[in-house]
Amino acid sequence: MKSANFKLPDGRQLAWYEVGHGRPLVLLHGWAMSAAVFSEVASLLSAYFRLLIPDLPGHGNSSPPLQNDLVGIAADLGAWLTATENTPVTLVGWSLGGMLSLEIARQNMLLVEKLVLVGTTPCFTQSENWAFGLPSVQVRALARNLERRFEATLADFFSLAFAGEEICKERLRTIRTFAVRKSPLPDQSSTLGLLNMLAVQDQRAILPEIHQPALVLHGDLDQIAPVAAGRLLAEMLPQGRFSGFPGVGHSPFLSQPEETIARILEFC
């Protein structure tokens, strides 16, 4: 996998990686992770696509964001993609990466052909009119724990992605090795700021504006973004399609990589 750095207009660096040949597929990782989380599926997808995989601002080897929200980070990614690729791209976003994919499509800053949204929700936190997110008290507790014991809290949150699954300890160790331990910890301030943003984030109003075909992949045991959120996301998107993973949590591409690849290939 080839690594590179893109210099943003303000001088910050965006680290990114490229592998494979063919039509461009952009992989966007989730909160507090890095491009390394896609190491396994990238090796499988690279036989079919040219993969472009950034470390989101404040994650991996990328500089922290100036505007630490969906709009600001999407603008950084748009600047990178516009300079890197001049053909239509398919965005594959996991969790926060899925939310960013929706924002990039809404901003219409580049040619987005299709969307694959993995473990994605339009609203991260529960509210009076949205029951399909984390309770606000749990999000506040997560923020407090990030300030007190940052690395341990990230490890606990990563484990939550597999809660309820029948997945062996050896497989979990393998996933942690390539997905977590091969990348620097995210910037603590950026991570906490993004969590505070997610606590109030609501993308439902923009969904009717997004007309690209969208495949929503969601595990039915997801305890971070409940499966009902994924179903409703697919219903609210004009060309949305839902595809569920029985017995799987928040990360289908880690729990069932071959099946995830098969569904992406069928859709793309």
Q: Which of 62, 222, 243, 251 is catalytic?
A: 222
* Euclidean distance between CA atoms 25 and 4, whole angstroms: 17
* Euclidean distance between CA atoms 232 and 217, whole angstroms: 12
The one-letter amino acid code at 38 reads F
Q: Which of 34, 95, 190, 243 is catalytic?
A: 95
CB neighbour list of residue 196: distance below 8 Å, 6 or more residues apart = 143
Q: Which of 59, 250, 251, 255 is catalytic?
A: 250
Whether 39 is a known active-site residue: answer: no
213 neighbors 101 (Cβ within 8 angstroms): no
- Among 1, 67, 11, CA closest to 34: 1
The tokens describing 127, both together, are: 């509210």
Whether 250 is a known active-site residue: answer: yes
Whether 156 is a known active-site residue: answer: no
* Helix 150-160, helix 188-198: angle, nearest 10: 50
Q: Known catalytic residues?
A: 95, 222, 250
